[in-house]
């Protein structure tokens, strides 16, 4: 073996020996913390977010931010597993983005429970059959996930975390060359998100909106001259070639998931709070309702109206604001909002998603 190679390998061996000692020492501390906590939750999203943020700030490479968070999520997951195997419910079947989100957040899920519906995920957590649930809440292709919002209205569960996954669109086809593509199938939103790319590279192909990108991929797999805009995963599932990667006009597309639990999360320093508000349907009422946020300097990152299901109010509003509900500014704003609104429900305060 080459001398230079041997030297590097010897140094890696020395590093690994130190790494091994350190991860075991870390695991022992995690264990000691577990016995201090007694019956409290093993999984502390606010603490894990703090650990990851700190490491990302310290990281000087060559490992990327994604590599650092992946490695440390794995370390934390294995330390946690010494105390308890967390069970996590999410939408199946295997291979969904929900599974990817759950694996990302928990650094691998040792006891996954794949559910058929979002309702089932809520029920599994509510009944205590699993420790956590992961549900999609905003899909960059199809917008807000209505069922999740509806279930959040009536559940007693708390949002204890959010996960974002980057979404890439790809041109999938079994056609040999781009010139032979005559039709492009995709969800209308995906077609729109790849508008510029399609104009430039496939100006003559017909764009055909279908119910989902998966349906588009299915069609592309069976029709000559057809292509689909969909995920890499869809290419695998329907055995299509990836003719062009990441063709979305805005490369910052993400899909967002919520982590559900039966308990609240302490502040992590960079948090978000999700609120459910209801008011009488008087034009301008919502503006009035939200005024205390501006007054107390609380930024709003999302406002989404949704028909109420219970007949008491016509509309409810899902509002995401910066900060934790224990923060003084947000707490004051919430108190004032509470005096004006028919309903204020804090769905949860949780750490902002870490890369």
Give the residue numbers annotated as catalytic, written as ranges: 255, 257
In angstroms, give the least distance from the CB of 58 to its own copies: 6
Does position 263 interact with its own copies (CB under 8 A)? The reply is no
In angstroms, give the least distance from the CB of 18 to its own copies: 6
Does position 297 interact with its own copies (CB under 8 A)? The reply is no
Smaller CB distance to its own copies: residue 61 or 311?
Answer: 61
| Among the residue ranges 60-68, 148-156, 185-193, 219-227, the one whose residues contact its own copies (CB under 8 A) | 60-68
Smaller CB distance to its own copies: residue 77 or 349?
Answer: 77
Does position 285 interact with its own copies (CB under 8 A)? The reply is no
Site size for its own copies (CB under 8 A): 65
Does position 59 interact with its own copies (CB under 8 A)? The reply is yes
Tell which positions 100-139 bind its own copies, by CB under 8 A: 108, 112-116
Which sign does the torsion angle of CA 186, 192, 194, 198 carry? positive
In angstroms, give the least distance from the CB of 60 to its own copies: 7
Burial of 192 (0-12, 13-18, 19+ CB in 10 A): middle
Contact 118, 132 (CB under 8 A): no
Smaller CB distance to its own copies: residue 15 or 295?
Answer: 15
Distance CA 261, CA 162 (A): 12
Which tokens go with 109? Answer: 């899920």
Tell which positions 72-101 bind its own copies, by CB under 8 A: 72, 74-75, 78-79, 81-82, 92-95, 99
Does position 245 interact with its own copies (CB under 8 A)? The reply is no
Helices (H) and strands (E) in the chain, counts: 12, 15
Give the contacts of 346 (CB within 8 A, at least 6 positions apart): 273, 274, 275, 325, 334
133: nearest Cα among 94, 169, 105, 170: 105
Distance CA 321, CA 298 (A): 7
Give the contacts of 279 (CB within 8 A, at least 6 positions apart): 285, 286, 289, 313, 315, 317, 340, 341, 342
Does position 32 interact with its own copies (CB under 8 A)? The reply is yes
Smaller CB distance to its own copies: residue 117 or 301?
Answer: 117
Contact 343, 277 (CB under 8 A): yes
Smaller CB distance to its own copies: residue 26 or 302?
Answer: 26
In angstroms, give the least distance from the CB of 176 to its own copies: 14
167: nearest Cα among 97, 257, 221: 97
Binding site for its own copies (CB under 8 A): 2, 4-5, 8-9, 11-13, 15-20, 22-33, 36-37, 47, 51, 54-55, 58-64, 67-68, 70-72, 74-75, 78-79, 81-82, 92-95, 99, 108, 112-116, 233, 236-237, 239
């Amino acid at each position: 073996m080459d001398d230079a190679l041997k030297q590097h390998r010897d140094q890696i061996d020395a590093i690994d020996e130190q790494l091994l000692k350190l991860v075991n020492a870390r695991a022992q501390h995690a264990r000691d913390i577990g016995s201090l906590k007694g019956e409290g939750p093993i999984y502390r999203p606010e603490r894990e977010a703090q650990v990851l943020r700190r490491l990302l700030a310290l990281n000087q490479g060559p490992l990327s931010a994604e590599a650092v968070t992946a490695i440390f999520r794995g370390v934390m997951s294995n330390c946690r597993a010494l105390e308890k195997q967390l069970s996590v419910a999410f939408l199946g079947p295997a291979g969904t983005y929900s599974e990817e989100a759950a694996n990302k957040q928990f650094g691998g899920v040792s006891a996954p429970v794949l559910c058929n519906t979002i309702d089932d995920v809520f029920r599994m957590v509510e009944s205590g059959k699993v420790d956590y649930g992961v549900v999609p809440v905003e899909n960059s292709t199809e917008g807000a996930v209505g069922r999740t919002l509806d279930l959040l209205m009536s559940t007693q569960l708390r949002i204890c975390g959010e996960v974002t996954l980057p979404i890439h669109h790809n041109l999938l086809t079994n056609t040999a060359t781009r010139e032979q593509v005559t039709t492009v199938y995709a969800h209308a939103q995906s077609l729109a998100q790849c508008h510029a790319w399609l104009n430039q590279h496939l100006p003559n192909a017909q764009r055909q909106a279908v119910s989902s990108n998966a349906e588009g991929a299915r069609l592309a797999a069976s029709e000559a001259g057809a292509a689909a805009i969909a995920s890499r995963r869809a290419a695998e599932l329907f055995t299509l070639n990836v003719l062009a990667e990441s063709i979305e006009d805005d490369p910052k597309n993400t899909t967002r998931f919520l982590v559900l639990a039966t308990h609240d999360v302490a502040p992590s320093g960079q948090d978000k709070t999700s609120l459910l508000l209801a008011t009488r349907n008087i034009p301008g009422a919502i503006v009035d309702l939200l005024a205390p946020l501006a007054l107390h300097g609380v930024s709003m990152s999302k406002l989404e109206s949704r028909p109420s299901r219970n007949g008491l109010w016509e509309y409810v509003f899902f509002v995401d604001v910066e900060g934790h509900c224990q923060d003084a500014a947000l707490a004051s704003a919430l108190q004032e909002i509470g005096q004006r609104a028919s309903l204020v429900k804090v769905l949860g305060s949780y750490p902002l998603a870490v890369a």
